[in-house]
Amino acid sequence: MWMSNSLLVFLGLFSAGLVAADANPDFMSVRDTVAKEYRNQEVETAEKYFHESSFHYHYDGRFATEVLPEEETIPHLSALIRTYLSTMKDIGVETWIMHGTLLSWWWNQKIFPWDNDIDVQISEPSMHFLDEYYNMTEHHFDIPGVEGGRTFQLEINPNYVIRSTKDKLNVIDARWIDTSSGLFIDITAVRKDDEKREHGQPGALMCKDGHRFDELDIFPLRNSHFEDFPVKVPYEYTKLLQEEYGSTAITATSFKGHEFNEETLLWDGPKLVHPFY
Ligand SMILES: *[C@@H]1O[C@H](CO)[C@@H](O)[C@H](O)[C@H]1NC(C)=O
């Protein structure tokens, strides 16, 4: 298998037993206990934690000085999502794809050829778990065709404990960063929406970026594949995609100058690049 010789570089204290005990926290039951540990309950905003590079908003300037050549972007994104999914599976954290990544999955279970980012979500208890045991851990992977492999860093925004959407500079709760290129995946926590729950919506969920869901839209997660790797997708994926992007996004075979080829199930590149596009 693609990841079979992956080498996870952890500090010695991350023993398997320790991890297993806390893995897979149940979404419904855990938050009540975790909530007591929240620091800064009264704080609603904070300074921006993640700093994107000055040259591109999807790169981390600590690891790169320029964007990847265009033909390298998709292979790097593919390695990012596969190594991320593999790592989350290994450490027992449930994660799923959302937004534009879910839309590209809907078409052919692959990243759109014009994409430059990936969106994944985890539950709020899982974010606490990653904070406690995995912040700033580095994970090395052998990647076919990549000399020396690549190292990825998991970094948790300390402001994830602020649960308010008013904290607009910290809507991204964590990142999975390719330290070879600076390219990263945004990880957002899906949280219980306490206010809506008090007003008669018992399954209300929210993210700090303002997206709102119902538990029944996301759970139970469905198993699928993305970039030839096992992935989980929200239960009501069609409904979620229609709500976010409109019905044409899941039916129109012409998109961003590309045409969906029903035979190869691939997006054929633009035949003509319009100067104003
Ligand atoms: C993760 O580690 C970084 C670097 O030490 C630190 O700045 C950040 O606050 C940490 N995140 C959490 C959630 O503690």
Note the pLDDT of residue 27.
Answer: 52
Any domain includes 34: no
What are the pLDDT digits (tens) for 67-81? 999 899 999 999 999
Residue 36 lies in a domain: no
Atom 11 in ligand 1: residue holding the nearest Cα: 158
Residue nearest to atom 7 of ligand 1 (CA): 158
Cβ of 242 below 6 Å from ligand 1: no
List, for residues 79-123, the tens digit of each pLDDT value: 999 999 999 999 999 999 999 999 999 999 999 999 988 999 999
Structural domain harbouring 70: 50-255
Report yes or no on 71 lying in a domain.
yes
- CA-proximal residue: ligand 1, atom 9 (nearest): 158
How many structural domains compose the chain?
Answer: 1
pLDDT band at 14; cut points 50, 70, 90: very low
Residue 155 Cα to ligand 1 midpoint, Å, equals 7
Is the C-beta atom of 162 inside 6 A of ligand 1? Answer: no
Please tell me the predicted confidence (pLDDT) of residue 275. 58
CATH number of the domain where residue 79 is located: 3.30.460
Ligand 1 atom closest to Cα of 160?
A: 13
The CB of 7 under 6 Å from ligand 1? The reply is no
Q: Of all protein residues, whose CA lies closest to atom 5 belonging to ligand 1?
A: 136
Q: Is residue 81 part of a domain?
A: yes
Q: What is the 3-state secondary structure (H, E, C) of the chain?
A: CCCCCCECCCCCCCCHHHHHHHCCCCHHHHHHHHHHHCCCCCCCCCCCCCCECCCCCCEECCCCCCCCCHHHHHHHHHHHHHHHHHHHHHHCCCEEECHHHHHHHHHHCCCCCCCCCCEEEEEHHHHHHHHHHHCCEEEEEEECCEEEEEEEEEEECHHHHCCCCCCHHHCCCEEEEECCCCEEEEEEEEEECHHHHHCCCCCEEECCCCCEEEHHHHCCCEEEEECCEEEEECCCHHHHHHHHHCHHHHCCCEECCEEEECCCCEEECCCCCCCCC
Q: Is there a domain that residue 8 lies in?
A: no
- The answer on pLDDT for 9 being more than 70 is no
* Confidence band of 60 (pLDDT split at 50, 70, 90): very high
**From the CA of 127, how far away is ligand 1's center (Å)?**
13
